[in-house]
Structure 1
Amino acid sequence: MTFIRIFLETLAGVCSFFLTFIMVYQIVIGFFGFKKAKKDYADHDPESRFLVLVPAHNEEKVIGDIIQNLNDMDYPKELYDFYIIADNCTDNTAEVARNLGANVIETCKESPDAPTGKPIALKKALQAIGDYQDRYDLMMIFDADNLMDTNMFREVNSQYLDKGKPDFIQCYLGAKNKKGVVAWFYYTGYTLTNRFFDLAKYRLGLNCAIGGTGFAMTTSYLYKRGGWTTMSLTEDFEIQVEATLEGRRILWNHHTRVYDEKPTSLLASIRQKIRWGQGHWYVALHNTGKLFRALSAGRISFWEFLSLLTYMYSIAAYVVAAVQLCVTTALCLVVPGRPFFDISLSGLLVGGLLFGYTYLFLFYVADWMDNHIKFSIRTIPVMIGGFFANLIVGLFNEIVGLMRCGDQQHWVKTEHAIEAKSVQEGQMQLHGKAA
């Protein structure tokens, strides 16, 4: 019995240390997100040549909007080309895109059992285009449901030229929709991380996260890698990790936005986040050893090592918290007369205070500074309810994702249907007003 008690107390201590470290780290990083966001690069005349790729699988409902958006970009037409990648489409995506004058690359599976998804579509498109490394300076990727600020190419061009031509630039990740509890929770998460995670890390000279859309990558680095080679379900996170391990730079741009359509149903959200969990666990588990070797070889700094390691395993917080709860309960059964609340009450109080700061307070600060939306007490019940619902759903997603992380072949599509008009009347009017 003594051995069991010691084991449980040790395990509880390890879990507590992990959760405390993750929370303290994020709080410290977040301090650097409070300052008003000002450009730290000079404006440059258009010079960089852009290759824009838009993977699309059965996106006939929304593909016309992004084509119109790309045609309306405030950038010389001779300096950018965009291609719609109609990937294994069974609808009229390719036909709609061609009728609107877009360049279309159609890709299909070699066999019924062949893997499919965004990474494979990107790989095939680059092979079809050919000499992209000679014709373009930067490649940008957008999802078919996206819209973007028309100044995006100008801002990326200026930052790219002014900052010594970094390998990656990730733009602000906005939302096309936030109505409904599910979409609202996505909105709160991205609003928080844009300012208090990515902008904060950029100010500290650390690599930001690559968000899967609205990011630029140098074609020279892409060509050196042999084209698009990251094939996990989270190809964005995978290329972020690989680039960081090589000592590459990933910058953040807070001054131009891409607007992504968020799921509105709980089932669609669960499917999407399980896919993200599968990919994240896979990339983290397969690159931990490489991360330590990169540190020992001097390819990355200790702070970059710590930043990436924390991000890689922040996904484990849900699982670790569940383990800690189970261990705490077990200790109450093993140790006679040891009430549950004597063990956990102080932790609950501290956790409640940290929740109020890192989730409620920081979100409202970010929403005001970046979106000019004032605090409303009516949103607090939704925020709190959504948070605790996310704890349960998040735990389920991450456990299932961990169990399935060996499968990186089956990609599940998220349906899109929001028209551009609703965005133009809402989120996109915020352009140029960010604090």
Structure 2
Amino acid sequence: MLSHFIFYIGLLFTLVFVYKVVYIIVAFKARRSKDSNEKEAPLRKYAFLIPARNEELVIGQLIESIKNQNYPKELYDIFVIADNCTDNTAQFAREAGAIVAERFNDKLVGKGYALKHILNIIEMNYSSKNYDGYFVFDADNLLDENYIHEMNKTFNQGYRVITSYRNSKNYDQNWITSGYALWFLYEAEFLNRPRMFLKTSCAVSGTGFLVNANVFKENGGWVHHLLTEDIEFTVAQIIKGEKIGYCSSAVFYDEQPSTFSQSWKQRLRWAKGFYQVFIKYGKELSYGMFRGKGNRFSCFDMMMTVLPVVIVSMLCLIGNMLILLLVSFEGKGLFQTYLIGGTLGILWIYGLLFALGLITTIMEWDKIRCPSWKKILYLFTFPLFLFTYLPISIVALFKKIEWKPIPHTVVKSLDDLRQRS
């Protein structure tokens, strides 16, 4: 009975997620294909939106990387919203050359409210600028010097929302930072790249994305305030029929949490946010999967992005409760069977996750800013990092969670990153 239960659960997940294996195969083909749009793209006008809370250590490096872009300086502006800051973020951002607005509201906290505030200011005071699009970045990011140039090419292909290639500033710090970093590389090249190749919708992930000004006008500004405003924005746009693009040649660097305590709090918020998105948009996503308007697969894809956290958590809880009951009634033999089967199952999952990390590391080897021996070492800790999502997702089911900032302390320039090999 127990073996049948486990078998059918495994079969269910195999059928649901096998398409992501297909994504990996498609990604290899996509990497070999050449960009058919090589003609020079018209130069558009952009604004950078940077919410920042107590980011005096890193805000200057981000602004410098934006000012050093290989793109006409008169065609973009930098806006920093110093959100509930108690340090010198606003002063340092002004000195670095950004247009700065300060916001103090301890009731409505979070990145979404900061974005809403700065967009309102731009509408009131800078509407004559007529920006074509808005870049959204976190204060700890760094941009490759060709970032705007590359994103502009994809923007001119007709995509109104575009995400980019997310690399990391501190891959080599420890097993936690490398776990994040390797996952984001996989997400970029083995989820978003094949989606782009197959002409389905990609997904925005946290930071480093571009939004057409008309999208914000249609939405009424930034209206997404769940704990994971990025995935909420993605799902809401896909439900409306928007197709989000991906630019693999637009590279930026992100700082990852370096302690388990920071990581636990951040991923707890993410897990709770996914639950919130599922509850708010699950019905519309389900409808979109069957309505036949050209984005059915994208709705399915996003449903599988927000739904598994719920399913895995609940099945683990219910399954283990049933197993413990069976063990108590049927004795030691069943307990040994369960122990052996569980151990083999864990090893099997570890092997699959290791293979995922291995493929990503091999394909992105030259882009990972980390000594070679650490690239290999962190392959073995990558599955362990992902395993920790299980207790996090379970706790998130029951715990009330509020948005809290993660401190950023990795002060590096692009030159510093290029010295890593």
Structure 2 counterpart of 1:174: 167
User: Could you tell me how far apart the structure 2 residues matched to 1:351 and 1:195 are?
Assistant: 26
Unaligned stretches of 5+ residues in structure 2? none
Shift, 1:206, TM fit: 1.8
2:417 is aligned with 1:426 = yes
User: For residue 433 of structure 1, what is the aligned residue in structure 2?
Assistant: none
State the match for 1:401 in structure 2.
396
Shift of 1:154: 0.9
Instruction: List aligned pairs for 1:2-401, cutoff 5 A.
Output: 12=6, 15-35=9-29, 36=31, 38-109=34-105, 112=106, 114-130=107-123, 132=127, 135-161=130-156, 163=157, 165-178=158-171, 179-316=173-310, 318-319=312-313, 320-321=315-316, 323-335=318-330, 339-340=334-335, 342=337, 349=344, 352-353=347-348, 355-356=350-351, 358-372=352-366, 382-388=378-384, 390-391=386-387, 393-401=388-396
Give identity over the alignment, percent: 27
Worse overlay, 37-46 or 173-182: 37-46
Distance 1:157-1:133 versus aligned 2 partners, 3 A rule: farther
Change over 3 Å in CA distance of 1:233–1:84 after alignment to 2: same
- Choose 379-388 or 255-264, whichever is displaced more: 379-388
> Which whole-Å CA distance do the structure 2 matches of 1:19 and 1:138 have between them?
39
* 1:36-81 C-alpha deviation (Å, 9 max, x unpaired): 3543432424521111101100111111111111111111112111
Measure how far apart 1:150 and its partner are: 1.3
**19-28 vs 70-79, greater mean Cα deviation:** 19-28
> TM (normalized to structure 1)?
0.85
Q: For 2:75 and 2:26, locate their aligned partners in 1 and report how far apart those are by CA, in whole Å.
A: 35
Task: State the number of aligned residues.
Answer: 413
**Residue 406 (structure 2) aligns with:** 414
One-letter amino acid of the counterpart of residue 306, structure 1: F
Q: How far is the alpha carbon of 1:273 from its aligned partner? A: 0.6
Q: State the Cα distance separating 1:380 from its structure 2 match.
A: 5.8
SS of residue in 2 equivalent to 1:16: helix
Shift, 1:201, TM fit:
2.0
Q: Which runs of 4+ in 1 moved over 6 A?
A: 8-11, 373-378
Q: Shift of residue 317 of structure 1?
A: 5.7
2:97 and 2:51 map into 1 onto residues whose CA distance is 16
Q: CA RMSD in A?
A: 2.9
Q: Which stretch shows the higher mean deviation, 248-257 or 331-340?
A: 331-340
Partner Cα distance (1:428, 1:187) in 2: 18
Whole-angstrom CA distance in 2 between matches of 1:375 and 1:14: 43
Structure 2 length as normaliser, TM-score? Answer: 0.88
- Classify the secondary structure of the residue corresponding to 2:325: helix
How far off is 1:379 after superposition?
5.8
Q: Secondary structure at the match of 1:339?
A: helix
| 5+ residue gaps, structure 1 | 431-435
